[in-house]
Structure 1
Amino acid sequence: MLKDGITEIIQQYDIDASVIVKYGDQVMYQHQAEKVFPAGSLIDLAIAAYIEDQWKNNPEIVNEEMEVTDLSRVRGAGIIGDLRRTNWSVRDLVYLTSAITDNVATNLLIEKFDIYEIDEWLKKNYPGLRLGRELMRYSASGQDNECTATSVDKLITHLMTTQNPFCALIRNALSNHTIPTDLTFYGDNILTYNKLGRDRRARHEVCAFMTKKAPVFCTVLSSYKGRDIEDRLFFQELSKLIFSHVKTAKIEK
């Protein structure tokens, strides 16, 4: 059974993890759903949700442009800080940060839409999500970017099920991967949508995919302690179990 299998995998790999598996709107499994983790690049989806809310009142906002300057460039993941092109639209940056991790792109969006405005909106709409600092920069007050499995599950459900051009853009970005990730490792011939959230302290992945009857949402947050092989096997074992249930139509507790 799905529930027993996931519990066994968590115990086998001795991983500090939060897991939610949902079939449609029915929670099939959850473990430590309210535990707070560093958000990593999952914060990109939270920022995108805030911008979608602004876009509803001002659709032209996606065409506004920002410039990459020397002050914008930070270390870590990303590509636009090293490209010759310096001007990027909000739409381009939302797509880019949903599809991959790009610290410069994320920070441009944070600077444009204001870190405090985004954080306050998240507190009201997605309790458990917190935008406390820009990426690769420290907060003077010691605040961090945080998430819980419950808040991320609510976020990915909204982005995947809301029918408008903005969320369609995000879904297109989330599906734009050619190499299976660990949580989608066994998802052969199934269109998956996923986002990684990894840094020196955390290994996260959220994914969604459609079955004939309903979508499946999987959120896995975990602490990272330098065990690369074990961490990858943990996610891949979850993938094997979840997709085996999907392919045999055995989504059950």
Structure 2
Amino acid sequence: MAGMSEKLALELTERLQEEKIQVAVVIQDESGKTFTLKEQKIFPGASLLKVGIADYVKSIWQQKADILKKTLTVRPEQRVAGAGVMHYLSQTKWSLRDIVALMLGTSDNTAANILLDHFGRKKVSDWLTDNFPGLQLQRNFIAPVVAGKDNFLTAAALLPAWQELFGENNEFTFFCQNALHEQTERGKLIYYADDLKFSGDTFNKTGDLVNVEHDCARLKLNQKWFDCIVLTRFTGLKQHQRALKLQQDIGRMLMQNLLQK
């Protein structure tokens, strides 16, 4: 039967015990049953902090629903390389809604920084500290680390922030979920979805840095689902490959569980 059973928990434990890389895991099913491993361990945040930024924008939208129609102009200095598409497209004016969608769907660094500049990074950071302790946003994306100020998170802190984008059915969560559903990075937790002919829906947000590979996903089939967060840190090519394979295997195990009758 689908869900976080003792059998699945044992299989996950055995798979995780094979690894020597740093890893933290939180998996929760629709009933609230939860599997955790080192969920309070602090990791570099990478692009998973963009989930928290979306949550902040949602909190503003709840007070002022027409904010999504607001047009923001991309300044030349806001264009930063790395993930995303905004930095190389000629378009300079975007709706706030589309900026959030690009931040989630393509992990767009320029989009994230535009939002931080618009709302104020300190305001966003303070809000995250109050609402999701453990999510630390101390610099813009692709900005240098100064005096140790960097972005950090724990798997435990990210779970409620992730679920904030799924808990209600409204205009904001709808377009965020659509962006996560159309996520361009599919090489980790949802890697085996096509091979398994997974007939449900997948939503995910990934993050990576040098020696860091993270992924966060909701795997859903009918009324059954898992939210899964896997954070990894490693050294060298072989450990990098193992970190990716671990995430792929965990996602495969969860999707196979959902597919069973």
TM-score by length of 2: 0.89
Q: Provide the residue aligned with 1:215 in structure 2.
A: 225
Alignment counterpart, residue 250 of structure 2, candidates 238, 242, 248:
238
Amino acid at match of 1:146: F
Shift of 1:244: 2.0
Question: What are the Cα deviations for residues 112-171 of structure 1, in whole angstroms up to 9, with x where unaligned?
Answer: 011110111111111111111000112544211111111111112121122211111100
CA contact (8 A) 1:106 1:135 kept: yes
What residue number does 1:192 align with? 202
Alignment of 1:118-157 (within 5 A): 118-157=124-163
Provide the aligned length of Structure 1 versus Structure 2.
Answer: 249
Structure 1 unaligned regions, length at least 5? none
Q: 1:184 to 1:88 in 2, by over 3 A?
A: same
- Measured after TM superposition, the shift of residue 25 of structure 1 is 4.3
The DSSP-based 3-state class of the residue aligned with 1:96 is helix
Q: How far off is 1:215 after superposition?
A: 2.6
User: Is the 1:3–1:28 contact (alpha carbons within 8 Å) kept by the matching residues of 2?
Assistant: no
Q: Which residue of 38, 46, 50 corresponds with 1:40?
A: 46
Q: Percent identity?
A: 27
Query: Residues 82, 186 of structure 1: CA spacing in aligned structure 2 closer, same or farther, 3 A cutoff?
Result: closer
- Structure 1 length as normaliser, TM-score? 0.92
Q: Distance in 2 between matches of 1:240 and 1:10?
A: 14
Letter of the structure 1 residue corresponding to residue 219 of structure 2: F
Q: 1:172 aligns with which of 172, 178, 184?
A: 178
Contact 1:183 1:207 in 2 (8 A): yes
Q: Deviation of residue 179 (structure 1)?
A: 7.3
Whether the 8 Å contact between 1:68 and 1:81 is mirrored in structure 2 is: no
Q: What is the aligned partner in structure 2 of residue 81 from structure 1?
A: 87
**Aligned AA for 1:135?**
F
Q: 1:96 to 1:10 in 2, by over 3 A?
A: same
- Which letter does structure 2 place at the counterpart of 1:182? K
Whether the 8 Å contact between 1:20 and 1:27 is mirrored in structure 2 is: no
Query: What is the match of residue 162 of structure 1?
Result: 168
Residues 60-79 of structure 1 mapped to structure 2, 5 A cutoff: 60-79=66-85
Shift of 1:69: 2.0
* AA at the equivalent of 2:254: I
Does the residue aligned with 1:108 lie in a helix, a strand or coil?
helix
Alignment correspondent of 1:23: 29
* Structure 2 stretches lacking a partner, 5+ long: 1-6
In structure 1, distance between residues paired with 2:201 and 2:260: 17
Q: Which residue of 1 aligns with 2:104?
A: 98
Further displaced range: 232-241 or 111-120:
232-241
Aligned AA (2:228): C
